[in-house]
Amino acid sequence: MRIRLQLLIALLGPWLLGAALANPYETTLDNGLRIIVKEDRRAPTAVQMVWYRIGGMDETDGSSGVAHVLEHMMFKGTPSVGPGEFSKRVAAAGGRDNAFTSRDYTAYFQQIPKEKLAEMMQLEADRMRHLNVDPKEFAQEIKVVMEERRMRTDDNPHAKLFEQMNAVAFMAHPYRRPIIGWMSDLEAMTAADARAWYDAWYVPNNAYVVISGDVDHNEVFALAKKYYGPLASRPLPQRRITAEPLQEGPRHITVKAPAELPMLVMGYKAPVLRDIDKDSDPYALQMLAAILDGHDAARFNKKLVREDKVALSAGVDYDTTARGPGMFYLSGTPSAGKTVADLEAALRAEIARVRQEGVSDAELKRAKAQLLASEVYKLDSVFGQAMEIGQIEAVGLSYRLLDRMREKLQAVSAAEVQAVAGKYFNDDTLTIGVLDPQPLDSKPHRPTLPTRH
């Protein structure tokens, strides 16, 4: 404990000391609901986030998208708060509210002047157990969700490529289904499906509340007991998550869509953190990602875009945490006169260069310096601090270990980065997705969806 604190002070400076000692604070109510409070007194505002441990990956075939549809329905009222009234009350309080659904979780938040926190807690507690899922409201809202799908995915070639690529990279694990849901599942969904989802998963013992901002944790704990305390807990249904079988050969997918430029995505199966202390490869992969794509002169941009001009853009995407399996994505758009194959060869060559020659101490030091500075910048946003806690908890890890994660990242060696470049980038676990751009002929490519009368 003492060593860790000293390291933190050395790394981040003495001003963090007060914050590091006790903050955040935590309590657990009798019904199993955890309350985590991060005090930050810089401005007279607060954010409340309610996180449910339920997301797209908990759905089953035929009902893809129900987690997200329920998120929409959560604004449709309870016996004591009418349809649309939730947003009206938040607005009247001078607040902003919204929600988001991921593969791993569903979360709701309000940003408010601090004196309105109690009212927001009362509202969230109310809809945690008392939601109305009215069939009439559902019939309108499912149309909105279909419009959302058209906007986000059907008319967005890059999103469509990622959607179909995931469906190929994961054959069995539920990550193969899109969070927004397949259109035919949305068309078939009923209010009863949404109701069943809510009844099964929206209970205090499947949720946690993160509150940050200009608040006193003891006062927040008392309010939590008052509003969330009376809600009954209930045993959760068993989760049956199909494990992804080992991938034993490369997979290819092509998506044709109206666009000017092709796009290439190469996704390799990669580990994520399960044990913050014992795992090491995810940290090395994160540093590799930073060395390849962490700043304007990182390897991809410097070599592929600026020097060789084989790509108009090139990037890396890798998350160290997830409930399900991980992927390390390389992606890019080839320059005019270069092909997708040229770009693929160039991306592979960059990974091979790390594998064969390693990375320099200067590159590694640079990536670590950026990480350290970003830890300070992160504190500028109360919302960002609550998000960080919520997200790490969502994958089953503790926010108390965030500092330990930072230490482990700072301790990654050049040899470890070189080792993961050799270990995870082989064709047996590779999925390649290509966007094949089609000319715009200005006519609809498909008939508009049949109406369901």
- Residues catalogued as catalytic: 71
Specify the long-range contacts of residues 290-294, CB closer than 8 Å, at least 24 apart.
Answer: 290/367, 290/370, 290/371, 291/354, 291/359, 291/363, 291/364, 291/367, 291/417, 292/316, 292/350, 292/354, 294/366, 294/367, 294/370
The CB-of-207 to another protein minimum distance in angstroms stands at: 23
Which one of residues 27, 87, 122, 132 is an interface residue with another protein (CB under 8 A)?
87
20 sits near another protein (criterion: CB under 8 A): no
Judge whether 185 and 176 are in contact, CB under 8 Å.
no
Judge whether 83 and 137 are in contact, CB under 8 Å.
yes
Q: Is 33 left (phi over 0), alpha (psi -120 to 50) or beta?
A: beta
Which one of residues 66, 70, 112, 285 is an interface residue with another protein (CB under 8 A)?
112
The CB-of-216 to another protein minimum distance in angstroms stands at: 14
Is 452 exposed, middle or buried, given 0-12, 13-18 or 19+ CB atoms closer than 10 A? Answer: exposed
Query: What part of residues 287-316 is at the interface with another protein (CB under 8 A)?
Result: 294-298, 302, 305-306, 309, 312-313
Token duo for residue 56:
């797209």
- Rounded Cα–Cα distance for residues 27 and 45 (Å): 22
The one-letter amino acid at 358 = G
Closest CA to 50 of 62, 67, 34: 34
Between 236 and 275, how does the x/- string for binding to another protein read (CB under 8 A)?
----------------------xxxx--------------
User: Taking contact as CB under 8 A, which single stretch among the options 113-121, 314-322, 351-359, 426-434 is the one that binds another protein?
Assistant: 113-121
Q: Which is nearer to another protein, 141 or 350 (CB)?
A: 141
Query: What part of residues 143-162 is at the interface with another protein (CB under 8 A)?
Result: 143-148, 150-151, 154-155
Which one of residues 63, 78, 111, 286 is an interface residue with another protein (CB under 8 A)?
111
- Rounded Cα–Cα distance for residues 192 and 108 (Å): 22
360 sits near another protein (criterion: CB under 8 A): no
Helix, strand, coil percentages in the chain from 3-state DSSP, rounded to 5: 50, 20, 35
Q: How many CB atoms lie within 10 A of CB 45?
A: 21
Between 422 and 441, how does the x/- string for binding to another protein read (CB under 8 A)?
---------------x--xx
Query: What part of residues 340-359 is at the interface with another protein (CB under 8 A)?
Result: none
Q: Which is nearer to another protein, 145 or 351 (CB)?
A: 145
The CB-of-245 to another protein minimum distance in angstroms stands at: 34
- Rounded Cα–Cα distance for residues 359 and 291 (Å): 8
Q: Which is nearer to another protein, 327 or 354 (CB)?
A: 354
Query: What part of residues 24-83 is at the interface with another protein (CB under 8 A)?
Result: 41-45, 75
Give whole-number Cα distances, 38 to 123, 371, 391, 453, in Å: 21, 21, 14, 50
The CB-of-280 to another protein minimum distance in angstroms stands at: 24
Query: What part of residues 179-238 is at the interface with another protein (CB under 8 A)?
Result: 213
Q: Which is nearer to another protein, 113 or 271 (CB)?
A: 113
444 sits near another protein (criterion: CB under 8 A): yes
Q: Which is nearer to another protein, 77 or 282 (CB)?
A: 77
Strand-pair category, 251-258 with 96-101: unpaired
Which one of residues 32, 113, 271, 358 is an interface residue with another protein (CB under 8 A)?
113
User: Taking contact as CB under 8 A, which single stretch among the options 25-33, 51-59, 125-133, 332-340 is the one that binds another protein?
Assistant: 332-340
The CB-of-244 to another protein minimum distance in angstroms stands at: 31
Residue with tokens 């199966």: 269
Is 245 exposed, middle or buried, given 0-12, 13-18 or 19+ CB atoms closer than 10 A? Answer: exposed
